[in-house]
Chain A
Amino acid sequence: MTAAEPWPENATLYQQLKGEQILLSDNAASLAVQAFLQMCNLPIKVVCRANAEYMSPSGKVPFIHVGNQVVSELGPIVQFVKAKGHSLSDGLDEVQKAEMKAYMELVNNMLLTAELYLQWCDEATVGEITHARYGSPYPWPLNHILAYQKQWEVRRKMKAIGWGKKTLDQVLEDVDQCCQALSQRLGTQPYFFNKQPTELDALVFGHLYTILTTQLTSDELSEKVKNYSNLLAFCRRIEQHYFEDRGKGSSSIRLS
């Protein structure tokens, strides 16, 4: 990864189809990356492809195509962007950087896992939403096969990390705990590290905004987030500052 080339104008971000296919967790990840790049002032064009997951070098979306490099997932993208000379966390000292990394892991550990659980292990959601959406671009029987395969993979992972036996209520409890921690850390500041946003803000925004604006079988998940007014204000602030002001319009998605 060379730092020599500047950021090209035609950098693209690939994700699944917005309206019919993309799922909650993937949408959150994609929005986090988009927010991060906006915060760094780097232009990016979003392209939707049905096979984005398979095009990605790590099997995860989103991924960005910059020059002749392809990088996927927020962590590696942050490193890549840093190598090109742009960074949001340079101003932090070592202790703050440790805190930032810890909170990013908290979001991955609790919020992302809860989203995956809800999408793939909660029978109601799986039946009504996930299966239909995940396989929608493909013909029968491929759509069913792919959906079942993915479900099996996710369930295996849940079991390995000890979430296999959790009930939906326990998962929602965990989400609440996570939101409470984020809310307490944010306090009355505009961003997590006061005046300037960092990749942590991008990640939290991606997940919370997606949870708030996605319609699922019930509102329980978004209600958990709505309990914390400073988190709502935080999402609104980032949406207004980085998405609407730049003329991109609202990125809200209705998945129903």
Chain B
Amino acid sequence: MAAPLELSCWGGGWGLPSVHSESLVVMAYAKFSGAPLKVNVIDNTWRGSRGDVPILTTKDNIVSQPAKILNFLRKQKYNADYELSARQGADTLAYIALLEEKLLPAVLHTFWVENDNYFTVTKPWFASRIPFPLSLILPGRMSKGALNRILLTRGEPPLYHLREVEAQIYRDAKECLNLLSHRLGTSQFFFGDMPSTLDAYVFGFLAPLYKVRFPKVQLQEHLKQLSNLCRFCDDILNSYFRHSLGAFSCVNRNQQQTDFGEASLLLDKKRSMPICRNSPSL
């Protein structure tokens, strides 16, 4: 289809095109299926609602939520699952369910609920992309939403204490990572040599966990021990996102520097994109 496809999503950092899992899933899928997406990174001048991000806009449609966006792209003939058998398609659905039930609570917890991580990394990063005064409110709301989701889906008795729920969700997440690692084995992608929807989802969930520098890192440490999953993320970053990394650098706000810890984004010197300069302290 000739109509331009625009994707609004959260931006990147730490070597990733986006730090937001759902945005990353859509971006990866677009790369795998060859869909020509124009990516608009949200910054603090963006006027639309940030609650539904990522959002795909075409001339006549606005689609939100990764599952619906991927469906839409498939209908536009950008299908990364073309080569898959029916059974592999069924496996895709099952593994995505596994990711959402077992891994997502712990990822949400690492980013939004764990106090050290939230206050030193997540909140400043998101607040810098939201205009004042929303920047004071929205990150807090996102954090509460994450906690709510964790408690409502996993926090039922006999796990009365948040600490017990935390222990359980991290156990489940580690098990899920182990299962994914077993399933991937030594293959390049989950279904042979070509990446598909499942690869997009796994990459979307795993890459932020792998790359973002957090103070409290138990899940990240576990992931780093699973070398085939790390290799999987690095391969996709190098093959599909190397050239576009320059477009996803963090935004400098006038004189202010936004500090992100020690990761750095080195850009092609020919590009004139602003460079994110990082200093160790926050």
Contact = CB atoms under 8 A, between A and B. Distances in A.
A98 B182 contact: yes
A178 B93 contact: yes
A165 to B, nearest CB: 10
Interface stretch (A3-11, A21-29, A36-44, A181-189): A181-189
B107 to A, nearest CB: 15
Contacts of B153: 157, 160-161
Contact of A99 (B91, B152, B185): B91
B29 to A, nearest CB: 18
Nearest to B95: A102
A108 interface: yes
A102 B152 contact: no
Contacts of A156: 152
B158 A106 contact: no
Nearest to B87: A184
Given A97-B179, A156-B152, A105 B102 contact: yes
Interface string A157-183: 100111000000000000001101110
B97 A177 contact: no
Contact of B94 (A58, A105, A160, A187): A105
Interface string B70-105: 000000000000000011011101110110111000
Contacts of A187: 87
Interface residues of B, number: 27
A224 to B, nearest CB: 15
Contact of A95 (B65, B94, B183): B183
B158 A58 contact: yes
User: Which of B89, B93, B182 has the most C-beta atoms of chain A within 10 angstroms of its own C-beta?
Assistant: B93
A235 B8 CA distance: 45
Secondary structure class of chain B's binding surface, majority of residues: helix
Chain A interface bracket (under 10, 10 to 19, 20 to 34, 35 or more): 20 to 34
Interface in A74-99: 94-95, 97-99
B149 interface: yes
A157 B153 CA distance: 7
B182 A94 contact: yes
A252 interface: no
B63 interface: no
Contacts of B152: 156-157, 160-161
Interface in A91-117: 94-95, 97-99, 101-103, 105-106, 108-110
A163 to B, nearest CB: 11
B157 to A, nearest CB: 5
B93 A181 contact: yes
Given A58-B156, A102-B97, A162-B65, 15 more contacts: A57-B157, A95-B182, A95-B183, A98-B182, A101-B98, A103-B94, A105-B100, A106-B93, A160-B148, A160-B152, A161-B153, A177-B93, A178-B93, A181-B89, A181-B94
Counting from the closest, the 7 A-B pairs by CB-CB distance are: A181-B90, A98-B179, A102-B94, A109-B97, A106-B97, A102-B98, A184-B90
26 contacts: A57-B157, A58-B156, A59-B156, A98-B179, A98-B182, A101-B179, A102-B91, A102-B94, A103-B94, A105-B94, A105-B97, A105-B101, A106-B94, A106-B97, A108-B97, A108-B101, A110-B97, A157-B152, A160-B149, A160-B153, A161-B152, A161-B153, A162-B65, A177-B93, A181-B89, A187-B87
